[in-house]
Amino acid sequence: MLRELAPQVLGALVRRHGQFDACEDAVQEALLAASQQWRDKSFPEDPRSWLMTVASRRLVDEWRSEGARRRREETAARIEVPGGAAAADHDDTLALLYLCCHPSLSVASQLALTLRAVGGLSTAEIANAFLVPEATMAQRISRAKESIRSAGARFELPSAAEQAERLRVVLHALYLVFNEGYLTSSGPALNRTDLTAEAIRLTRMLHALLPAEGEVAGLLALMLLTEARRPARTLADGSLVPLDEQRRDLWDRAQISEGIALLTRTLGTTSVGPYQMQAAIAAVHDEAPTAAATDWPQILALYDVLERVSPGPVVTLNRAVALAMVHGPGAGLALLGSLDEDPRMSRNHRLEAVRGHLLELAGDQPAAREAYLRAARMSASIPEQRYLVLRAARLA
């Protein structure tokens, strides 16, 4: 509940008082106070008003403590601590998301600020999610707020001309948070369920605010269809299980049904975007009762469309697998060769991992083994390293 209320309270405070950074700090302190006082489930009658009151008083105290300057005293004196009906029902979450994904910020800063301001995560939680020291993350968030202030960003929805581009950035930020949770880029764990759950929650919130946006629905469907497989992705010892070897009876059928329903309602009603296409590909995988029954020609056709809609090396990499499954490993390997000179893939271990897989399918075990070992050396994920080394060992 706290994380659902956080962006509403922050949005109301920023709309009322401005000063995003001060309001954000005040909300974090209010959330901390709530987590300590509501532990026994004795929630106040109106939790949002309670948070608004505590955060507003924190603002007043902060402004009054900074030297008792006349301007700040006059500002504080004019503030009425909101309560009850004064806590406006207007939901500023969308404006807050747009602000956190302001174009003046780097992608890393957009992610951190979105999780902090909209997700309600503490600095320590965000630092832990991205495996950096808390002090480093605190500096990143502080610089992000300073960049927003320096850019003169206003707390309001962008103009109609800007909204589509800004929404693209918002969706990309949520997509990256989910991906980092589903397959962590480094460390001992294969996935982070706290991050995937938070990404899904925020995307649900965005879908409720923008129900007619096809790409928002597409992203939510993609997350649900992908997350549904998580229970089968690892063994009890944490070992990675590839898609074609997973126990499909462990997949979450409720999430699959919800994802497919979202996609069915969306496709054909708006212009097709990359998230809708990726969700459609995930749906084909999830609907197959066995790996052998996967409709690879349909998946290849969908990748052909995706490559036209959103071309890029990762799309080409995934399309190479589908191409190999339809036309043989030689065709897939030929397409992979087109990525060897792409600088964006020079440090991507997945290129070598896929090459190893296709070489293994082609029967070239020595070359496949070397590709798996190269991929293992390039990966920072310990579970992936172990999986790749094991694949190589089986070919020795």
Given this model, what pLDDT does residue 123 score? 84
| Structure tokens belonging to residue 44 | 């106040």
Quick one: average pLDDT of 28-56?
A: 77
| Cα 87 from Cα 50, distance rounded (Å) | 9
8 Å CB contact between 94 and 157: yes
User: What is residue 105's DSSP assignment?
Assistant: S
8 Å CB contact between 333 and 361: no
- Provide the whole-model pTM: 0.77
Quick one: average pLDDT of 58-62?
A: 75
Q: What is the pLDDT of residues 178-206, one digit of tens each?
A: 988 888 777 787 888 888 988 898 899 89
Specify the range with the lowest mean pLDDT, choosing from 196-205, 244-253, 290-299. 196-205
Given this model, what pLDDT does residue 63 score? 65
**CATH superfamily entry for domain 312-396:** Tetratricopeptide repeat domain (1.25.40.10)
Q: First vs last Cα of the chain: how many Å apart?
A: 53
| Cα 3 from Cα 54, distance rounded (Å) | 16
Q: What is the pLDDT of residues 334-380, one digit of tens each?
A: 999 999 999 888 888 999 999 999 999 999 999 999 999 999 999 98
8 Å CB contact between 147 and 109: yes
CB contact burial 329-345 (16+ within 10 A = b; e otherwise):
beebbebbeebeeeeeb
User: What is residue 190's DSSP assignment?
Assistant: S
Given this model, what pLDDT does residue 374 score? 97
According to DSSP, the residues that pair with 240 across neighbouring strands are 234
Q: What residue has token string 């979105």?
A: 114
Quick one: average pLDDT of 274-282?
A: 97
* Domain parsing of the chain, residue ranges: 1-91, 312-396
| Cα 379 from Cα 348, distance rounded (Å) | 8
93: confidence class by pLDDT, cuts 50, 70, 90: confident
Given this model, what pLDDT does residue 136 score? 92
57: confidence class by pLDDT, cuts 50, 70, 90: confident
Given this model, what pLDDT does residue 189 score? 78
Share of the chain above pLDDT 90, in %: 46
According to DSSP, the residues that pair with 267 across neighbouring strands are 270
Q: What is the pLDDT of residues 111-132, one digit of tens each?
A: 888 888 887 777 887 887 676 8
| Cα 369 from Cα 350, distance rounded (Å) | 14
Q: Pick the residue with more confidence: 221 or 53?
A: 221
| Structure tokens belonging to residue 111 | 């992610």
| Cα 82 from Cα 54, distance rounded (Å) | 9
Specify the range with the lowest mean pLDDT, choosing from 91-95, 283-287, 335-339, 347-351. 91-95
Per-residue pLDDT at 15 exceeds 80: no
8 Å CB contact between 228 and 286: yes
Mean pLDDT of the chain: 85
| Cα 135 from Cα 366, distance rounded (Å) | 46
Q: Pick the residue with more confidence: 74 or 14?
A: 14
8 Å CB contact between 13 and 26: yes
Pairing of the two strands 186-187 and 380-381: parallel
